[in-house]
Amino acid sequence: MVHNASLIVCLALATLSAGCSNAPAPPPDTRAADAQVVKDIAAASFRDAAAKDADKWAANFAEDASGLFPGDGMLNGKAAIKAAMATYFADPNFSLTLQSTQAMASKGGDMAYSQGAYTMTVSSPKTKKPMTVKGKYLTVYTKQSDGSWKAVAHAFNSDSPM
- Does residue 4 lie within any of the structural domains? no
- Does residue 83 lie within any of the structural domains? yes
Strand order in the sheet with 75-76: 75-76, 61-68, 149-158, 130-143, 111-123, 95-105
% of the chain surpassing 70 pLDDT: 86
pLDDT in tens, 66-118: 999 988 889 999 999 999 999 999 999 999 998 989 999 999 999 999 999 99
- Does residue 10 lie within any of the structural domains? no
CB-based contacts of 91, cutoff 8 Å, min separation 6: 122, 123
- Does residue 108 lie within any of the structural domains? yes
- Does residue 7 lie within any of the structural domains? no
Q: What is the pLDDT of residue 145?
A: 95
Q: What is the pLDDT of residue 72?
A: 85
Rounded Cα distance between 72 and 139, Å, is: 17
Residues linked to residue 61 through DSSP beta bridges, in sequence order: 151
Residue 20 has pLDDT above 70, yes or no: no
CATH of the domain at 96: 3.10.450.50
Q: How many domains does the chain have?
A: 1
Rounded Cα distance between 35 and 41, Å, is: 10
- Does residue 72 lie within any of the structural domains? yes
